[in-house]
């Protein structure tokens, strides 16, 4: 197994007495797609919320490339190269698809220059580059013709693609995807899974939460199955699928 880029150790978090994370430890290796599966309420999204700084854990640690990042604010974690999508998408509905993508770019280098004239010129050049890159991402996702439409006018599948584009615009090394193919048509599903594999092939490290087991099995290098906030099984997709504890959970 290659080196861990992201490591969580002994994480715990409760909500009103419900254990959402219970001493959870897990590694994401550099350049892999790690599948995260488990029943509703297993704690999958809570894990993302803790790793991306939206929720503070009650115990445990999150490390990125061996640096302790536990409890850092979401924007700081974004600047360190962790990007995510949300289960409920969280696009800005009235803004165009292109503007949603543009808002997701990190760093504005113009701000660091002292001279106002150069700052403005650099800023404009930077804006132009981001715009070009955003259009390229929308093209790759097959939704460039929707660039000027408000996000709310896109179909649900197109909105899922747009939320993935926004995540890619951050150019993060670690990409956390919360149910990116849930509830969409098969051809769009294939498109999104292809984009996720491309991410991995371009050296990114990906965690994929998904209930669609076939999608997980065909896309992931490794899978973690969690239940009641704890890791129950871990291994290759085949190993996890054949684990009696996993089979039992999915039959119940």
Q: Which is nearer to Mg ion, 65 or 211 (CB)?
A: 211
Among 40, 67, 115, 202, binds ligand ATP (CB under 6 A): 40
Residue 84, class by beta-carbon neighbours within 10 Å (0-12 exposed, 13-18 middle, 19+ buried)? buried
* SS3 state of residue 71: coil
Residue at token pair 């997980």 = 216
Number of residues located near Mg ion, criterion CB under 5 A: 3
The b/e string for 9-42 (b: 16+ C-beta within 10 A; e otherwise) is bebbbeeeeebbbbebebbbbbbbbbbbbbeeeb
* SS3 state of residue 22: strand
Residue 182: name the closest of 205, 216, 224 by CA.
Answer: 216
Closest distance of CB 51 from ligand ATP, Å:
12
101: its two tokens: 């993508």
Check binding of 233 to ligand ATP (CB under 6 A).
no
Check binding of 59 to ligand ATP (CB under 6 A).
no
Q: Decide which of Mg ion, ligand ATP, none touches 130; Cβ closer than 5 to 8 Å per partner kind.
A: none
Contact positions with ligand ATP (CB under 6 A) in 80-119: 87
Q: Which is nearer to Mg ion, 86 or 105 (CB)?
A: 86
Among 45, 52, 85, 219, binds Mg ion (CB under 5 A): 45
Check binding of 18 to ligand ATP (CB under 6 A).
yes
Closest distance of CB 21 from Mg ion, Å:
12
Residue at token pair 């969690």 = 226
Closest distance of CB 42 from Mg ion, Å:
8
Among 8, 20, 193, 208, binds ligand ATP (CB under 6 A): 20
- DSSP string computed for 112-167: G-S-HHHHHHHHHHHHHHHHHHHHHHHHHTT-GGGTTSBGGGS-HHHHHHHHHHHH
Instruction: List interacting residues with ligand ATP (CB under 6 A).
Output: 15, 18, 20, 38, 40-46, 87
**Contact positions vs Mg ion (CB under 5 A):** 44-45, 87
């Amino acid at each position: 197994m290659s080196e861990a880029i992201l490591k969580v150790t002994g994480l715990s978090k409760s909500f009103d007495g419900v254990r959402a994370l219970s001493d959870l430890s897990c590694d994401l290796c550099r350049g892999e797609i790690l599948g995260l599966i488990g029943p509703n309420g297993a704690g999958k999204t809570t894990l993302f919320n803790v790793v991306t700084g939206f929720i503070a854990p009650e115990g445990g640690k999150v490390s990125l490339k061996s640096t302790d990042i536990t409890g850092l604010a979401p924007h700081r974690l974004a600047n360190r190269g962790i990007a995510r999508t949300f289960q409920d998408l969280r696009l800005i509905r009235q803004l165009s698809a292109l503007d949603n993508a543009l808002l997701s770019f990190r760093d504005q280098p113009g701000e660091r220059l002292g001279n106002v004239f150069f700052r403005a010129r650099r800023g404009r050049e930077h804006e132009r580059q981001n715009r070009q890159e955003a259009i390229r991402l929308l093209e790759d996702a097959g939704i460039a013709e929707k660039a000027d439409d408000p996000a709310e006018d896109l179909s649900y599948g197109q909105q899922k693609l747009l939320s993935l584009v926004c995540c890619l615009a951050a150019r993060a090394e670690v990409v956390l995807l919360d149910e990116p193919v849930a509830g969409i048509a098969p051809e769009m599903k294939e498109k999104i899974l292809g984009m996720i594999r491309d991410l991995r092939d371009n050296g990114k490290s990906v965690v994929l939460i998904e209930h669609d087991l076939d999608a997980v099995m065909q896309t992931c290098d490794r899978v973690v199955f969690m239940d009641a906030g704890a890791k129950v099984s871990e291994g290759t997709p085949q190993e996890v699928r054949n684990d009696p504890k996993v089979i039992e959970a999915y039959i119940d």
